[in-house]
Structures are given as structure tokens and as C-alpha cells.
Structure 1
Amino acid sequence: MADGFHAGRTFGAFLFDMDGTIVNSLAVVNRVWSAWARKHNVADVEEFMRTMHGIRAVENIRRLGLPGIEIEREAEAITIAEMEDVDGILPIEGALAFLSALPEGRWAIVTSAIRELALKRLAAAGLPVPRVLVTAEDVAHGKPAPDCFLLAAERLGVPIGDCLVFEDAPAGIKAAEAAGAAVAVVTATHSHVLETPHPSFADYGRLSLVANEPDGLRFGRAA
């Protein structure tokens, strides 16, 4: 990505999705959600699993339109199961070094997980918690609505047009686009090619950060 569309551009702040972007929680998500989908006789479990990433639990359940389902109760049960299972949660390669190099107050995490689950996964992956952490409870409308990214930019005091969003899932990419942010796509957990007009990269291992305060943040190529 450092040689792509965003090369040489300076940003006021970076906004990171969590799961699939800085944290690899794919094993947990697949275990919990596929078991839930089979239990509730979801017609096409494979298709559901392919399209559920990056979306809040309540919205994933609601869009299925399953009869007799208490959406809030099911979402709570799924969240509890996810919090109890941290086996296999890892940082995306290079994420710790990259995040640790960012100036305080110039980055945020914007996730569809609830705050308690987000903190648990960040701790399991050994990643820092930024001053601004926007979670599912903070917005009325989750991704692909732009609310979460707009709120993160507001809390950082940076115009959304000066922010670069790091995302991995279509719902999050659509949310960032709708917000008016630049987008970079992380492909570390992708099993299929994601068609996107945005620059993409596998992980943070080959990226370096140039922090030119107060001018902003930009990329360089790691030696």
C-alpha cells in the first residue's frame, strides 16, 4: 500500500476496525457464529458466514428474519460465548509495532463489537487501547452506516476527510466510504479475493510510519 494510491498523502488520523484488521479473531467468530446459525436452522450457513463480518450482532440476527427469535437475547448470548472463547486470537502481523508508533490522540479503533468484548480481544492479542474506542453501544446505526467513523473523527477532533480508515470487511468499507474517509483494506484473514478500488495490503509487516506532527501521518516502506 505504501506504493499505492495513498503514497505520499498525509492524514490527520488513522481509524482502525478491530476484527480482521488489527486482531485475527476469525477462529472464534467462525466457531461461535456457525454453531449459532446451525442451532437456529439458518438456511445457508456458508453464505451467512461469508457476509456477517463487520456487522453488529443484533443487525446480523435481525437481517435473517428468523421466526420466534428474541434478537437482543440472542445477541447477548452470542456476545457471552465470544467473550468466553479467546483461543486462537492473535494480532495481525506487524500491528503491535505499527500501532505503538502512532502518536496518542491521532488514532482510534472503531468496531462493531461491544466495548467489553473489544477490550477482551485487544488484551488477548496484546494490542494497546487508544484514547478513542468506538464500539457497538456508541451508535444507533452500525456499519455499513457511517455513524461510527464520523463519531471517531469527531472525538479525535479531526475532519473525517483527513482520516484514513483501515478495514477488512465490505460493511466497514461501505461505512468508511459513506463517511467520506480514505480507505485501506487489510487482507490478512481473507480466504477469497475482495474486489475493491481501494489500496490493500496483507499485514503491517512491510509498512513503516512517518509521524510529522503537527503535519500528520503518512506511510513509508519498511527497510
Structure 2
Amino acid sequence: MTKPPIPYSDRRFKALLFDMDGTLLTSIESAERVWSRWLTLHGFDPIEILPTIHGVQTLETIRRLGIPGIDPRQEADWIAREELADLEGVRAIQGAAEFVAGLPHDGWAIVTSATRTLAEARLAAAGLVPPPLFITAEDIANGKPAPDCYIEAARRLDVDVTQCLVFEDAPAGIASGRAAGADVVVITATHTHPLATDYPSIRDYRGLTTAHSEGMAMLRAGTAR
């Protein structure tokens, strides 16, 4: 089978910005167990709602459901505690650990809709190194699909967001990267159905590495360091 071409192999980027869940690691089993319990308690059909929770801040999803008589913040805190206690099945996307280990310390960030505590716990469970820069739910008022999180990550890395490459897996995150003006590559390892997108996609990080020169990174084929 012919391998798909390396996306953006002719481009140089100042920084690489990664979503976490579904992009560097999979936490679908854990998240959907917790959300299924919560949705059932509130009279929702998990099968209907679960596809909409990924890539979006928990608080935003709860508010969108419009449940009368609840405190969305308290409910989000409950879900966060349950997700923190249930890390079974959290694991790295294939090749992700080797790929990020080869990146320069000041050249990448994780930009996630999870809280920092949950993000750190999931990274540890997946055996992934912490990033030099974390943008989490606490850092951003307007979560994905708003562009704020990727713009803020680029600002803190002191680079132009239009010179960044965003790695995403979910529609909300892809829209966030697009709105920020960054290029996007879609990771499909956790997808069960094709995702309609204008951006190039790869299944995982196997056979992908980077070359660095003058503070710029290029994606290339090869064995990740």
C-alpha cells in the first residue's frame, strides 16, 4: 500500500500546536463512560449527544444542552472529577511520543479544551512528556471553535499564528485553527467515519518526523527521533 504524502512537506513553520484528546492521545473510552453516566442521569440519550462533546470545553457543552435548574459550573466540576478518576484506556496515538520528543523545547505547545489537571493526568497515563507550553480550559474564556486558544498559544511562544501548524482531530478544533489563520493537519486515528475537511489528514505519527533550521520546522518522512 502506498503511504499518503507528508502534509506541508514544502512549508516551514515557527511552531507546532497540538490539540490533545484525539490528537496526541485517545481518551474516548474514559470520556464517553463518564459522559454517558451524566447524560443518563439528566434524561439524555448518550448515543445522540456523545458525538458532540469532543473538542469542546465541558462547560460549553453543558450550557448548550440548556438543562433547567442546574449549575453548569458544578456539573462541569463533577464531570471533571469523574474523568480524573477514570483514566482506563487512555493511551498515546501511535508514534506521538516519539514525534513530540523530537521537537525543540520552545517550538511546540498543547492547546486543549480540558482542564490543566485533567490534561496532565491524561498525558501521564498515556506516557507522553508534558509540553513546554500548555493552553487549557482555564486560560481561555472562549473555547474552540473560537480561535482564541491558538492565537494565545502563538502569542506566548512569540510567533505569528499564521506561521504555525495546528494538529487537530475534531470539527470544533479544526474550525478554531482555521479561524486563527493557521495551517491545519487532521489526525484520524480515533475517527470511525470519514471527516469532511479541506485540510490534509494522516492517521497517526508513524513515519513522521521534523527537520529544523533557523528556528523553523518542516515535516518529513523518516523514523522519529
Q: Same fold (TM over 0.5)?
A: yes
Tell me the equivalent position of 1:217: 217
* Structure 2 CA distance for aligned equivalents of residues 29 and 213 of structure 1: 40
Greater shift after overlay, 101-110 or 31-40? 31-40
1:37 and 2:39 aligned: yes
State the identity %. 49
Tell me the equivalent position of 2:172: 171
Tell me the equivalent position of 1:204: 205
Tell me the equivalent position of 1:141: 142
* Structure 2 CA distance for aligned equivalents of residues 168 and 87 of structure 1: 21
CA contact (8 A) 2:7 2:201 kept: no
User: Aligned with 2:217: secondary structure?
Assistant: strand
* Structure 1 CA distance for aligned equivalents of residues 58 and 89 of structure 2: 21
> Which among 5, 12, 15 is matched to residue 13 of structure 1?
15
Tell me the equivalent position of 1:118: 119
User: Aligned with 1:209: secondary structure?
Assistant: strand
User: Aligned with 2:97: secondary structure?
Assistant: helix
1:98 and 2:99 aligned: yes
* Structure 2 CA distance for aligned equivalents of residues 143 and 79 of structure 1: 18
Tell me the equivalent position of 1:24: 26
**TM-score where L is the length of structure 2:** 0.95
**TM-score where L is the length of structure 1:** 0.96
Tell me the equivalent position of 2:69: 68
1:54 and 2:94 aligned: no
User: Aligned with 1:220: secondary structure?
Assistant: strand
* Structure 2 CA distance for aligned equivalents of residues 95 and 4 of structure 1: 15
CA contact (8 A) 1:2 1:219 kept: no
User: Aligned with 1:33: secondary structure?
Assistant: helix
- Figure out how many residues of one structure are paired with residues of the other and give that number: 221
Decide whether aligned partners of structure 1 residues 96 and 68 sit closer, same or farther in structure 2, where only a CA change above 3 A counts: same
1:154 and 2:179 aligned: no
CA contact (8 A) 2:208 2:222 kept: yes
* Structure 1 CA distance for aligned equivalents of residues 138 and 7 of structure 2: 33
**Partner letter of residue 51 of structure 1?**
T
Contiguous gaps of at least 5 residues in structure 2: none
* Structure 2 CA distance for aligned equivalents of residues 149 and 92 of structure 1: 21
* TM-fit CA distance, 1:206: 2.0
* Structure 2 CA distance for aligned equivalents of residues 213 and 100 of structure 1: 19
* Structure 2 CA distance for aligned equivalents of residues 13 and 68 of structure 1: 44
* Structure 2 CA distance for aligned equivalents of residues 158 and 6 of structure 1: 18
* TM-fit CA distance, 1:45: 2.5
CA RMSD of aligned residues (A): 1.3
